Structure 1
Amino acid sequence: MKNLLKTKWIITLLSVGIFASTFGAAPAKNEESEAEKPIKVEKTGFLSNIRQLKELSDIMDVINQNYVGDKAVDKKSLMQGALKGMVESLEDPHSNYFTSDELKDFQEDIKGKYVGVGMVVQKRPNEALTVVSPIEDSPAYKAGMKPKDKIVAIDGTSTYKLTSEECVKKLKGEENTTVKVTVVREGIKDPKEIEIKRAVVELKYVKSKMLDKKDKIGYLRLTQFGENVYPDVAKAVEELQKQGMKALIFDVRSNPGGALDQVIKIASMFVKEGKIVSVKSKDGQEKISNREGKYYGDFPLVVLVNGGSASASEILAGAVKDSKRGILVGEKTFGKGSVQTLVGLPDGDGIKLTIAKYYTPSGVCIHGVGIEPDVKVEEKDGYMLFDSMVTNIDEKQSKENKKEIIKEIKGEKEAEEFEHHKDIQLDTAIGIIKGILLNKKK
C-alpha cells in the first residue's frame, strides 16, 4: 500500500464535475480542530486487517449462497460495493472510489476534454448536488448555471440519495443529447427546471487582452489551473508586457482550482519571495512550497475572486494577500483547503483520497471558511449570466454581434439586459489600478 501512495498529488475541483469543497464550521480562534491534530496511525498490512477481512468474506459468502433478487451478483461487484461504501463512510465529498471504467473517465476528464454538461460540483451524503462552478465554454455555463446552485434532481431522479459518481454519470452522456436538472437557487422561491444539451467540453484556460490602451492595464482570465497551464499564463503575461503593460488584473472568479504544482508556479510569477503554500498531512508533517521560477515584476496587481474561486484559486489569492503583493477584489472565496491523491489499485480500480490540508503563507487554513477580499464588491446582477459568458465569445466581435449571440442562446430579455449590464467587480478593479498608477505619477 505504501508503494501505491507514491503517486502525484493533485488538488480536486478540476473540470470534471465530481469534486468539491465542504462547507463546515471553522475551529474557534486559537483552538486546533480534531481534524488538524496529528492522529496515531494504526498498524497496516494484511495480518493486522485479517479479522475485518474475514467478516467481509463471510458476508460475501452469505449473499452469494442465499440472496434472491432481480439482479445477479458476483464477488467482483460485491467487493466494489464494499469498497465504495468504505470510502463513502468517510463522509468526505473529495474522497471517492472508482471502478476501472470510472477511473478511466476521471483520467480523461482531468486532461481537459470530455462529453458532458461542464460544471464542477460537490456532493455530501443525503444532500443535494451543489454547483461549485460552471466551466467556461460549456453547455451548463451557457444555460446560466451559477455557483452554489442546488441540483435537487437530474432527469426527475432526486440527487439526495445518489453518490457523486452516480450524479456525474447521469450528467454525462452522448453528444447532442439533453439532460434536465431541477435547480434551487438562493433568492428564487420555486425550483427551476433547466434543460442542458451535452457537448464536447474542451477547456480553454487562459484569456488575456489589454483593457485600457491609454493606461496600459492588462487583463488575464484563468478559468482553471489545468495540467501544464503555467506556460500559457506566462506567455499571456509576456505578450501583455510586450504591449507595454503597466498593471494587471488577474481574474480567477469561478475558477474551481486544479493542479497544485501549477498554482505554485503561477503564484511565483507575482510573489517575489517567500512561501506560496504549505501542506500538512495526517501525521502533522508540513511540506512547505516556496516560490520558484521567474518573477515578472512589481507592477500593480489586482486579483478578482468570488464564491466560485476555489482550491488552487484560493492558494493564489492567499499568497498574494499574505505577501501584500496585490489587492483582492470581489466576494469571499469558496473555502476548499484540502489536498487529494489518486491511488491506482492493482485490478485497475482506484481511490481518490484526502490526505492533507493546505495553509496560506501566514499559516491560515481556509477550509470551510474562504478568503475575504480586501475590497468587497458583490455582483448581484448575475456575473455568470452576462460578463463571464461574453468572455467566451471572440473579443474582436462587436457588442451588437455579442448581443445577437446571447439572444440566440438565452433570449430577447437577457440580450437586452446584457446591453446595459456592467461588470462592477471588474470596473472596481480598473478604478483601483488607475488610482495606483496616478499616485505613482505624482
Structure 2
Amino acid sequence: MERINSSALSPRFLLGQPNRSALILSGFAAAICCVPQVLAQAPDQTDDPSASALTTPTTEVPIEVDAWSDGIWTAAMSGDQAMLDEYLANVPATAQPGRAQALRDAIDSYRSHLNAASVDRTEDRDAALERLKEHLAADEIVKALTAAVEVQTLADDWDEMLQIEQMQMLLSRSQSDWKEALEAGDLLLAQDLLYRLRTLNEDIGEPEAYKRYDNALDDVNRRISLLAQYAQRTLHELRREEMARYAPEEEFPEFNDAFAGEWKERLRNINDRMLKRALVMASRDHIAAGGWKPLLEGGLESLRIFVTTAALKENFEGLGKLEMVDRFDAFLEIHEKRIQDMPDDALNGETCRRLIDEVLLANNRTVQIEPAVIIREFGDGAMYRLEKDFQDEYSQVIWPEELRRFQQQVDGDFVGVGILIRHDDRRRIMIVNPLEGSPAARSGIKAGDIILGVEDKDTVGWSLNQAVDEITGPADQEVTLKIEREGLDEPFDVAVMRDQIKMRSVNGWWKNELSAEGEPDWDWFIDETDGIGYIRLTSFNEDSFQDFLTALQEMHEERPLNGLILDLRFNPGGLLRSAVEFTNLFVESGTIVSGEDRNRNKVWELSAEPGRAACMGLPTVVLVNRGSASASEIVAGALKAHSAAVVLGERSFGKGSVQTVHDLSSPFSQAAVKLTTQYYVLPPLPGESTGRLVHKKPGSDDWGVNPHISVEMAPEQIMDATELRRKADFIEEWVAEDDREARPEVGPLVLEGKDPQLEMGLLLLKARVLKDRRNPDLLVESSEVSN
C-alpha cells in the first residue's frame, strides 16, 4: 500500500443522517477535530476559471510559519490564485526543516506535473490533428470529426485550428453527410455526425449554430428512441450497418425474434384518464409556471415525430399507409398551430381534455395506432417539452409498468442478489458486475456472465425489467440462476440467497480487504504523517452519514485527524436530509439550504443544529466537478458559504431542483407523475446578501457551485484516474487471496500527477497544517508513499 508519509495520501467519504448522529458525535466529537479555525476570511472571488499554475513570487509573504499557514488558507478561501501561488513558492524557513522540505518537494512535483501535462497536451493535440487528416483522406468522416473534437479540447486557440485547410474541408463535408444520412434513413450515422458537430459548436460563441445542430440531433435521438421501443428489428439492421461501417471484421448476431413483442410491456394498464390528470397537475404545479401551452405543444410534437418515423410500420401497419399518415399528421399540425396561436389564458383543463379526445378519435379514423401508444407518447412528449424549454429532465409521468421500480428506488428498499445487468450484442441478459459484498459476489458470480435461466425459466426474449422482476424477491429466499461463462463448455447453476442490498457510498484511500460479509476495511489516511484523511462519497443514501461517522472514529483511533479531503466528484446526490446532516458536522449555526417556489417565495429552510458540528474548524478541502450534483452541491455550496471548507476543482453540474410525486391511480391501474416544484437556494456567500440558486436555468451562464480554486482535468486524465481508482478498489472476493490478480497502487494519483485536483487539494492541506506539526517524533525527512 502506498501512503504519503510526510507527503502521503489517504481518502474517504461521508453523508448525513439526523437521528443516529448524536450518539456517536457525543462520544468523540471533541477529540476528532481539535484544530484551530481560520480567523481571517477575504471576500469570495470564484469567477476566475483559470487553472492552477504556480508562479514566481512577486510580493512579500509572511516568514513566520503560523502567519504563513493562516495566510495560504485565507488565499485559498478567497479564491486568490496569484496570492496562493506566491505562498506556495515561499515555504517559510522558520518551519521545521524536515516538514518544510517535504512540502517544498511536493510543490516542486506539482510544478513538474503541470509542465509535463502542458507538453503532453500540445503533443496530444498535434497527434489528434494528424489523425484527423488521415481519417479525412480515408473518407472516414465520423472518425475525423472525433479527432476534431480532440483537437478542440486540447487546443489553446480553436480559431487558429479552424483555419487549417483539412479542418475546413471536414466541416464542409460533414454538413452534407448528415443530411444525406437522414434522407437515406440511416439515423445512427446521422446521430454520430450531428453529435460531433454539436460538440464542436458548444461554448465557442456561436449560439445559433449550436442550436441548429442541437435541434437536429434532438429530432434524430427521439426517432432512434422510438425504434428502440417499437421497432427493434429495424434498429437491429441499422446497428448491423453501423458495425459494418466501423468494424467490418466483427461478426454481428442475428435478430432474436423473441424480442419482437417486447414493446407491448410499456403499454400495460395505460388509459387517457391518467394522462389528463398528469397534465392538469403539471400545468398547475410545475416550477416554471409555463401553464398549458408547452405541455400541449409537446404532446402534439411527440405524436408528429412518431407518425412520421416510417420505420415504425414494423409493428404499426397504419404507418405504412401514406395517405392515412399524411391525414393524421395534417390534423396534428393544425392543432399544434392552433395551440401556439391561442393566448395562454384561453387554455385550460377543458382544452386539454377535448384535445386528447379529438386526437384519439382522429387516430382511430386514420392510422389506427393502439390508443395506449398515443396516450403514452403524448404524455412523454409533454414532459419532454418541460425539459427542452425549462431544462427540467426530472419531471415525468411514471406509467403503470414503471411504478413498482420507481417506488423501490424512492424507498431505497433493494432486496435481490446484487448485480447490475444489461443486454449483450445478442440481447442476452449479461451481468455488468456483481456489487461488492453482495450475495452474487459471495456466490462467485462474475462480470461478463450470461444469465440463461432463472428458476428453470429460459431468459430468451426477456426485457431487462422482466429479468429484474424474476430475479428479485423476498429476502432470505434462494433463487437459482443458470450461468454461461466464457471459457467453460457447459452452463452451470448457481443458487444465490436474496438479501437486502447495501449501497455503499463511503470510501477511503486504500481498500485493505473485505470481511467475510463483504464489508470493506479501508485505510482512511492519504497522508498519515500529517494526519490528513481522504473520503470519497459516491452518493447520499440512508447509510452514508452513519458510515462517515464510523470512518471518522476509525481515523481518530489511529491518530489525530488534522485535515480532510472530501471528494464529491461524480457524486450525483441523494437524500436531502443526509446532505444537511453532513453539512451540520462542519457548520455550527445558520442556514444550510432553503427552498423556493415558482413565485420565488421561500417555502422551507433547513438550518444547522447547535452541538452537532463535530468537525467545525477542521481544515477541509471539498473536491467537485461537473459530475457533482444535487445533494453534493448543497454540501459543497453550504460549506463554501459558511467558509467551512475550500472548494476545489471545476464548476458543479447545476441540479438544484425539488420534485414531488402525485398519485394518478384509479381502481384498475396505478400510475404517478413526478414534477419539479421547487428550487434549492444556498446561503449567501461572504459579502453577499442574497442566496444562490444552484439549478442551471435556460439561458443562464451562472449555475452550480463555483470552486474557490479552479483546477481542470483533461478528459484523458479523468479517464486514467478513474480507471486506476476502479482497478485499485476491485477485490476478487470469490478468489482465494493468494490467487487474486494484483491491484494497482493509488499513490500515483498524487505522486505522478495523475489527479491534479487531488494533488492540489493535498498540497493545500499540507500547507495549512504545517504550523501544527511540531511533534519531533512524527517528523520524517523523506516522502514515503503508500497505496
Shorter-chain-normalised TM-score: which range?
0.5 to 0.7
Shift of 1:335: 1.9
Paired with 1:216 and 1:136, the residues of 2 have a C-alpha distance of 34
Paired with 1:84 and 1:223, the residues of 2 have a C-alpha distance of 30
Shift of 1:315: 0.8
Contact 1:305–1:330 under 8 Å retained in 2: yes
Q: Which residue of 1 aligns with 2:606?
A: 289
Shift of 1:202: 6.9
Paired with 1:402 and 1:236, the residues of 2 have a C-alpha distance of 23
Paired with 1:428 and 1:40, the residues of 2 have a C-alpha distance of 44
Shift of 1:420: 5.6
The partner residue of 1:392 within 725, 729, 737 is 729
Amino acid at match of 1:252: L
Q: Which residue of 1 aligns with 2:594?
A: 278
Shift of 1:388: 3.5
The partner residue of 1:219 within 534, 548, 560 is 534
1:370 aligns with 2:370: no
Contact 2:287–2:597 under 8 Å retained in 1: no
1:81 aligns with 2:396: no
Contact 1:335–1:371 under 8 Å retained in 2: yes
Change (3 A) 1:360 1:97: same
Shift of 1:394: 5.1
Change (3 A) 1:276 1:210: same
Change (3 A) 1:316 1:137: farther
- Unaligned ranges ≥5, structure 2: 1-201, 204-285, 293-346, 423-432, 437-461, 469-482, 485-500, 509-523, 685-690, 697-702, 775-787
SS of residue paired to 1:79: helix
Q: Which protein is richer in helix relative to its size?
A: 2
Shift of 1:117: 6.5
SS of residue paired to 1:299: coil
Amino acid at match of 1:263: A
Paired with 2:625 and 2:546, the residues of 1 have a C-alpha distance of 25
Shift of 1:108: 3.1
1:60 aligns with 2:360: yes
Q: Which residue of 1 aligns with 2:757?
A: 425
The partner residue of 2:661 within 342, 359, 375 is 342
Change (3 A) 1:420 1:228: closer
The partner residue of 2:673 within 348, 351, 367 is 351
Q: Which residue of 1 aligns with 2:521?
A: none
SS of residue paired to 1:106: helix
Contact 2:680–2:693 under 8 Å retained in 1: yes
User: Residues 117-152 of structure 1, C-alpha deviation per residue, up to 9 Å, x if partnerless?
Assistant: 69xxxxxxxxxxxxxxxx9979xxxxxxxxxxxxxx
Shift of 1:282: 1.2
Contact 1:115–1:172 under 8 Å retained in 2: no
Paired with 1:263 and 1:339, the residues of 2 have a C-alpha distance of 14
Paired with 1:315 and 1:331, the residues of 2 have a C-alpha distance of 15
- Unaligned ranges ≥5, structure 1: 1-22, 25-35, 119-134, 139-168, 178-200, 407-415
Paired with 2:717 and 2:464, the residues of 1 have a C-alpha distance of 24
Higher normalized contact order (CA 8 Å, seq sep 6+, divided by chain length): 2
Contact 1:254–1:309 under 8 Å retained in 2: yes
Paired with 1:418 and 1:317, the residues of 2 have a C-alpha distance of 22
Change (3 A) 1:250 1:172: farther
Shift of 1:250: 0.8
Shift of 1:395: 12
Paired with 2:287 and 2:358, the residues of 1 have a C-alpha distance of 36
User: Residues 269-301 of structure 1, C-alpha deviation per residue, up to 9 Å, x if partnerless?
Assistant: 111211111111113321211123721132111
Shift of 1:60: 2.1
Amino acid at match of 1:324: S
1:382 aligns with 2:717: yes
Contact 1:136–1:392 under 8 Å retained in 2: no
Shift of 1:39: 5.6
Contact 2:750–2:758 under 8 Å retained in 1: no
Contact 1:342–1:353 under 8 Å retained in 2: yes
SS of residue paired to 1:316: helix
SS of residue paired to 2:665: coil
Paired with 1:426 and 1:354, the residues of 2 have a C-alpha distance of 34
Shift of 1:418: 12
Contact 2:749–2:755 under 8 Å retained in 1: no
Change (3 A) 1:331 1:170: farther
Change (3 A) 1:83 1:391: same
Q: Which residue of 2 aligns with 1:205?
A: 505
The partner residue of 1:107 within 382, 387, 407 is 407
Change (3 A) 1:68 1:383: closer
Amino acid at match of 1:239: E
SS of residue paired to 2:606: strand
SS of residue paired to 1:107: helix
Contact 2:595–2:681 under 8 Å retained in 1: yes
Paired with 1:136 and 1:356, the residues of 2 have a C-alpha distance of 37
- After TM superposition, the score normalised by the length of structure 2 is 0.36
Q: Which residue of 1 aligns with 2:314?
A: none
SS of residue paired to 1:352: strand
Shift of 1:304: 1.1
Shift of 1:173: 8.3
Q: Which residue of 2 aligns with 1:237?
A: 552
Q: Which runs of 4+ in 1 moved over 4 A?
A: 36-42, 112-118, 135-138, 169-177, 394-400, 416-421
Paired with 2:434 and 2:542, the residues of 1 have a C-alpha distance of 16
Greater C-alpha radius of gyration: 2
Paired with 2:376 and 2:288, the residues of 1 have a C-alpha distance of 30
Paired with 1:367 and 1:104, the residues of 2 have a C-alpha distance of 29
Shift of 1:174: 5.3
SS of residue paired to 1:429: helix
Shift of 1:327: 0.6
Paired with 1:324 and 1:171, the residues of 2 have a C-alpha distance of 46
- After TM superposition, the score normalised by the length of structure 1 is 0.62
Paired with 2:710 and 2:421, the residues of 1 have a C-alpha distance of 31
Shift of 1:227: 3.6
Contact 2:360–2:374 under 8 Å retained in 1: yes
Paired with 1:210 and 1:295, the residues of 2 have a C-alpha distance of 21
Change (3 A) 1:276 1:339: same
- The 5 A counterparts of 1:28-47 are none
SS of residue paired to 1:328: strand
SS of residue paired to 1:90: helix
SS of residue paired to 2:677: strand
SS of residue paired to 2:770: helix
Paired with 1:382 and 1:172, the residues of 2 have a C-alpha distance of 35
Contact 2:419–2:434 under 8 Å retained in 1: no
Moved more, 108-117 or 50-59: 108-117
Q: Which protein is richer in strand relative to its size?
A: 1
Paired with 2:643 and 2:732, the residues of 1 have a C-alpha distance of 32
Change (3 A) 1:40 1:276: same
Amino acid at match of 1:90: L
Shift of 1:344: 2.8
Moved more, 341-350 or 102-111: 102-111
Amino acid at match of 1:59: V
Contact 1:393–1:402 under 8 Å retained in 2: yes
The partner residue of 1:403 within 744, 748, 756 is 744
SS of residue paired to 2:718: coil
Contact 2:750–2:756 under 8 Å retained in 1: no
Shift of 1:377: 1.9
Q: Which residue of 2 aligns with 1:301?
A: 620
Shift of 1:439: 2.7
Change (3 A) 1:274 1:237: same
Shift of 1:263: 0.8
Amino acid at match of 2:612: K
